[in-house]
Amino acid sequence: MSTTSSVSTGCFVFKPDIKKKKKKSFPSLDDYFTHGCEGAETSDIRFRLFHDLWNKIKTDTEHLQDELNRQILDSLLDFTRKCSSTRQHDDWASQMRASEIPTAALMLGVNVPDHDMTFQSLSELLQQSVTPHVASVQAKECAALKHLMKRVLERLMHTVVVAAAADDDDDDEEKEEATLKQSVTPVHKSVHCSLSVLCEWYNTQTKKSNTPGKKRSSQSKDQHPPVVIIFKDLEAFNQKVLQDFILICSRYIEHLPLMFIFGIATSPSTIQHMLPHSVSSLLCIELFQSLSCTQHLATVMDKLILTSKFPFKLTGKVMQVLISLFLYHDFSVRNFIKGVQMALLEHFHSQPLSVLCCKKKEALRNAAHLSHEGLERIRQLPSFTRYVDKQESQEQVGLLKDDAHLQEVCQKLIKDLHKYHKNYYPTLRCLHVLTSSLPRYPLGKQIRELHLICLEKNVWETEDYQSAMKLLKMLAKDELIALLQRCAEILRSANSKKMKSALVQLEDMLSKFKQLDGGSEVVQCDEESLTSPVKNLQKKTDLYQLQKALLEMTESRRTKKRSPFENLRSEALEFIDNLVKSHLYLPESQTLNEVCYYSSSSSVRCHLNATPRTSIQAALSSPYYYLLNESLKTDDGSISNAAPDICIAYKLHLECGRLINLYDWMQAFSTVVSAAEGNDPNSDNFGKVDDVKHARFIRAVSELEFLGFIKSTKQKTDHVARLTWGGC
């Protein structure tokens, strides 16, 4: 019998209920917008706008991720085609030993939540263009070798597989599972779990596809397509299970064209650590490296966030929370997009004026049909209040009293807001192009770092911006021209009148740079003026003449004429500086920015960076707010004696010190439970511990131990140690 330090140990088996159960009805997003939100008169429009933006972000994200994974997926497809075609010819033995299994080691990085989408795309592409026989397995469903074999055969053969069990209990479980599956899909017959069965099935399938009278599609040109097995999370697999499976597969490689794909999150050396040489030598491994998650995030930010095609925007604090969660938690771009979608949902639900967060034409139309309540909400916006304070007194009266006039002004302000975004992002990209290659990256290496700076303060007022401009004044001619040409490409793709005008000025400067001869005459003149005092120093002179010559040299250096390139370089940097100061001012300074910008960083952090311990303590201290049972409601902050056992045990353990006496704890628990049962306090049996109360107490203590509130201690056998302090 194995020993354990737990207070109690138990094993509970719940067999599946085949009877149909009624599905619980959960509120839809439409109900979420209709009920319980402010500004219910526009909830339908806001829900439609939210739904359209949600679908647009989701579609663009999936398309972008497919494009980013296209290169590595194409390489994997070429690898599988090459191995499959090599097997069809006689040079198979010359390429690799007959017992070697072609294996692709796919390096995906530590962003594990993003791997599912990559493997799903890979499986679909393999089935479409290489082979219909693809099976994906995960470590959590393959604890033993029989489970791994069972999952592989089921997903390849699409039938029920009964694994050979080690004992009678496991055999009964396997048979019961097979019976349950057959009751759901009675068409298929169960087969035994063996690779020899898979070989027979594969031969039958290839004979069917190669029938002379049967037309073959262009996708199934190979007479013997490979059987691909994808291990999604190689590091999590049991080493012994994986080794045995590879050894068994190597025995069938001559009869079954197997091929492995290993999904690796850490390092290629994982294969060497998990597999001994006798096993790894049976694999012909080729390494494939995907894009890093930081590059993936940079592309997503560039294509989805830093663009004017989406009217919904995030403030600097919200953006900082999402990026911090990405960098310090999971490196998952998928979770980053989910955070953006969550902010999108919260914005359209909590902000009634989000009805104006849409394309310009629709926003102008919605602004023209705003109700009096909507116009009053606009008058209460902080940015609109600042706008009113800057107007003349007569205009202020019209904005605060005349609804028709306010609707006209709102349409103008919405146009200005859209123009601001059209000018902001091209200017941001130009500044990033100029400063991202400077030494020590004063304004950040990634564009998201520069964007965060611009969201928090006026970038031209920072010391980093001043140092960046000083470094730009030291650039050589070729470097500066190359950077300005990249800026011209950015402005050329912008859809704004001001950006088009800036492009004309920049192209004029570039043409002047190309016409420069290098300013040789000025340099020659400067050299003569500098060398003349030096020649005088070479002559024999006294102290007065030496001092005079040195003063002349210093003065000549101060009054040195700048070359044409230096003048043109200063002019170009002054143009960039004016462009930055004209279009990179804070979003908060723009009137009606609250319509498009979501600013509740605390809500994002609460939803995405949850604190389980605090939530559990709140549930145990206030079960009424979770169970909504009136008998649990209390006013003085205490807990009702009708609360669940774990809540009672938790409340009692808060009154104890570092060590808790189990007997005293159980007596107090029994007293509270007896009061809840309505027993007479004056009776002899009140508070007496019987078998039922003892079992309930042990279960409650075991649950608290599982949640991490207490632990067993060796100091005293009848005591447990408390691990947390304070309650909610």
pTM for the model stands at 0.77
Torsions phi, psi for 133 (to 5 deg): -100, 90
pLDDT of residue 550: 72
pLDDT of residue 660: 92
pLDDT of residue 41: 74
What are the C-alpha distances in Å from 701 to residues 594, 641, 710, 713?
Answer: 50, 17, 8, 14
Tell me the per-residue pLDDT of 557-602, one tens digit each, with 9 for 90 and over: 555 667 888 889 999 999 999 999 999 999 999 999 999 999 999 9
pLDDT greater at residue 627 or residue 222:
627
pLDDT of residue 180: 40
Share of residues in the chain with pLDDT > 90 (%): 52
240: its two tokens? 């012994």
pLDDT greater at residue 41 or residue 253:
253
Output DSSP code: residue 461: G
Output DSSP code: residue 638: -
Contact 459, 579 (CB under 8 A): no
User: pLDDT band for position 208 (50/70/90)?
Assistant: confident
Lowest-confidence range among 210-219, 300-309, 364-373, 424-433?
A: 210-219
Region 683-695: mean pLDDT is 77
Contact 417, 494 (CB under 8 A): no
268: its two tokens? 């290629």
Task: Kindly give, in sequence order, each residue whose CB lies less than 8 Å from that of residue 160, ignoring residues fewer than 6 positions away.
Answer: 154, 178, 181, 182, 185, 188, 189, 190, 191
- Paired with 720 in beta bridges are 660, 712
What mean pLDDT is reported for the chain? 83
Q: Which of 39-43, 294-298, 483-487, 688-692 has the highest mean pLDDT?
A: 483-487
pLDDT greater at residue 341 or residue 190:
341
Q: What is the 3-state secondary structure (H, E, C) of 151-211?
A: HHHHHHHCCCEECCCCCHHHHHHHHHHHHHHHHHCCCCCCEECCHHHHHHHHHHHHHHHCC
Interatomic CA distance for residues 255 and 326, integer angstroms? 46
| pLDDT tops 70 at residue 186 | no
* E strand intervals along 541-663: 597-598, 659-661
In the chain, the N- to C-terminal Cα span, in Å, equals 40
Contact 547, 521 (CB under 8 A): no
pLDDT of residue 30: 65
Contact 699, 684 (CB under 8 A): no
User: pLDDT band for position 447 (50/70/90)?
Assistant: very high
pLDDT of residue 38: 67
| pLDDT tops 50 at residue 216 | no
Interatomic CA distance for residues 406 and 422, integer angstroms? 24
Task: Kindly give, in sequence order, each residue whose CB lies less than 8 Å from that of residue 432, ignoring residues fewer than 6 positions away.
Answer: 443, 447, 450
Contact 92, 229 (CB under 8 A): no
| pLDDT tops 80 at residue 268 | yes
Among residues 447, 415, 103, which one has the least CA distance to residue 300?
Answer: 447
pLDDT of residue 167: 44
pLDDT of residue 682: 65
pLDDT of residue 159: 83
pLDDT of residue 671: 86
- Paired with 192 in beta bridges are 162
pLDDT of residue 150: 92
Residue with tokens 């599972």: 177
| Number of helical (H) and strand (E) elements in the chain, helices listed first | 31, 12
| pLDDT tops 70 at residue 675 | yes
Task: Kindly give, in sequence order, each residue whose CB lies less than 8 Å from that of residue 708, ignoring residues fewer than 6 positions away.
Answer: 613, 723, 724
| pLDDT tops 80 at residue 222 | no
